[in-house]
Amino acid sequence: MSKEENKMENQEPVIITYNGTEYRAADLNEEQMALAAKLNVAGKKLARLQDAYDDYVITNEYKNLVIESFDRAINPEEVEVVEEE
């Protein structure tokens, strides 16, 4: 195993990456660890909420199209007949 592979194998997992810097447990105190955990949870939750919002937008657009189609089906527009002279 190369020195680089051995070094990577012995590193602690990254707890959080903030402003491009990776922080591991050894880099953080107890308060910082708690805040990093909260940030990680909030980030994951926001990603799930974004997916749900995207689904909502698409479903709402589809619903509106179906409403318009239904309205046209029950209220057919009268077609004006233009007589040629």
Report DSSP state, residue 16.
Answer: E
Tell me the pLDDT tens digit for each residue of 6-53.
Answer: 455 568 999 999 999 999 999 999 999 999 999 999 999 999 999 999
Q: Model pTM?
A: 0.58
Task: Decide if 33 contacts 15 (C-beta within 8 A).
Answer: yes
Task: Decide if 57 contacts 50 (C-beta within 8 A).
Answer: no
User: Comparing 32-36, 56-60, 62-66, 75-79, which segment has the lowest mean pLDDT?
Assistant: 75-79
Q: Compute the C-alpha angle 35/45/31, nearest 5°.
A: 5
Q: Which amino acid is at 46?
A: L
pLDDT (mean) for 55-70 = 97
For residues 13 and 84, what is the distance between their CA atoms, to the nearest angstrom?
81
